[in-house]
Amino acid sequence: MRVPCAILRQNETEAPPIRKAVLALADGSVYEGIGFGACAKVGGEVVFNTGIVGYPESITDPSYHAQILCQTYPLIGNYGVDPAAFESDRPRIAGYIVSELCDKPSHAGSRKTLGDWLRENGVPGIAGVDTRALTKKLRVHGVMPGLLTVAERGLNAARLRAEAVAARDPNAADLVAEVTTPEIRIYNPRAERTIVLIDCGAKQGIIESLVRRGVSLVRVPADTSAERILSFSPGGAVISNGPGDPKQCPATIAAVRRLMRENLPIFGICLGNQILALAAGADTYKLKFGHRGQNQPCLETGTPRCYITSQNHGYAVDADSLPRGWAPWFTNANDGTNEGIRHMRRPFWSVQFHPEARPGPTDTDFLFDRFLEAAR
């Protein structure tokens, strides 16, 4: 079992007490390790991310709500935590799994250690896990529910295993309702052109990508009606990323369908790609283990171009179910799954990846400009 790369905090002469942690999966497997972050027991869907950097962005991404995140890169925490990298106001993951935890970060922007930050926000973590073996299991058997427990004293692994086997899939709930903004917020209100952002768990990077292009951005809750959206006289609407099964968002799907009847330019991102597809009459399905990381290659249909993209999703659009007038826009070069759709004549587009990156490559940032060219 691997141990954290450092267990002493700065200015301490003795090691803090080592806490025990146990990760139990719904298939009955159990992983024991060293606890960090908060002492707590949490449940969630266990997923993995292949990014080498960007852990603060991933941890604060609302799309990870109700998930226990495993990092495949072996060393995490070495550059600490900087609030400038946050994609929301706090950690959104349920729990965290790493191979080696660095508790003495070295970076000019670091404000605190990863362990301290997670403890302050009530998020438990487990280190010393063979994350390669765990990732291989999830790739073979698919992502699954699990329980993560961190405690000062001994844990009953057998009892946790039994609880995990009976755990409920968090995707059966409307997770978007738990992360959307509770109120309407307006950014850059004096700008001449208005865009509405349907917040299904929007990342800060999406908001900044739109605001810096000089628009007035109206951020609305995910269940906002089309009539309320249209009352702002927007030039277009963006459907954001978010967690869970898109079919759990019937109010959002209905509103987007109504906006389409008004021919309002629409741009969907991540979960927004799936919601636009459902509003158009297509279908979605759950991927075996999803795409989570900053290295996903996407081919643009009808061109020789391949873009490296940042992604975080567990569901996908069934491209074969797209109705007449719609076509695939991007395809994942690794597994052939859909990465974007567009209408052939009307101003509706969406992508499964994140053009704002945060973290990751900015190869597709230009898609915001394409959308705004069509927005009135």
- For residues 207 and 135, state if they share a domain: no
Q: Is 62 left (phi over 0), alpha (psi -120 to 50) or beta?
A: alpha
What would the mean pLDDT of 366-372 be, rounded to a whole number?
98
- For residues 285 and 242, state if they share a domain: yes
- For residues 167 and 237, state if they share a domain: no
Give the end of a domain, one of 137, 172, 207.
Answer: 172
What would the mean pLDDT of 80-99 be, rounded to a whole number?
98
Kindly report, residue by residue over 17-39, the tens digit of the pLDDT: 678 999 999 999 999 999 999 99
What would the mean pLDDT of 328-338 be, rounded to a whole number?
98
Residue 256 to residues 77, 113, 342: CA-CA distances in angstroms?
A: 40, 42, 14
For residues 175 and 248, the answer to whether their CB atoms sit within 8 Å is yes
**Pairing between strand 19-25 and 144-151?**
antiparallel
Residues in the chain: 376
3-state class percentages of the chain: helix first, strand second, coil last, to nearest 5 = 25, 30, 40
- State the CATH number of the domain containing residue 100: 3.50.30.20
Flag whether 8 is in a domain. Answer: no
pLDDT of 156 = 86
* Nearest C-alpha neighbor of 187 from the set 239, 232, 251, 243: 232
- For residues 207 and 151, state if they share a domain: no
- For residues 164 and 181, state if they share a domain: no
- For residues 195 and 167, state if they share a domain: no
- For residues 281 and 335, state if they share a domain: yes
Flag whether 13 is in a domain. Answer: no
Residue 3 to residues 8, 47, 119, 219, 270: CA-CA distances in angstroms?
A: 12, 21, 19, 43, 35
- How far apart, in whole angstroms, are the C-alpha atoms of residue 16 and residue 358? 34
pLDDT of 79 = 97
Query: What is the average pLDDT value for the chain, to the nearest integer?
Result: 94
- For residues 79 and 130, state if they share a domain: yes
- For residues 287 and 204, state if they share a domain: yes
For residues 200 and 241, the answer to whether their CB atoms sit within 8 Å is yes
pLDDT of 17 = 64
Three-class SS of residue 304?
coil
Containing structural domain, residue 220: 176-374
Kindly report, residue by residue over 223-234, the tens digit of the pLDDT: 999 999 999 999
Of 102, 249, 270, 298, which one is the catalytic site residue? Answer: 270
For residues 265 and 229, the answer to whether their CB atoms sit within 8 Å is no
Is residue 14 over pLDDT 70? no
Flag whether 288 is in a domain. Answer: yes
Structure-block tokens of residue 363: 């190869």
Give the end of a domain, one of 155, 172, 189.
Answer: 172
Give the end of a domain, one of 154, 172, 190.
Answer: 172
Flag whether 70 is in a domain. Answer: yes
12 classed as catalytic: no
Flag whether 356 is in a domain. Answer: yes
pLDDT of 85 = 96
354 classed as catalytic: yes
Provide the whole-model pTM: 0.94
Flag whether 5 is in a domain. Answer: no
What would the mean pLDDT of 54-67 be, rounded to a whole number?
98
For residues 367 and 266, the answer to whether their CB atoms sit within 8 Å is no
- For residues 286 and 140, state if they share a domain: no
> Which DSSP state fits 110?
-
- State the CATH number of the domain containing residue 195: 3.40.50.880
For residues 95 and 68, the answer to whether their CB atoms sit within 8 Å is yes
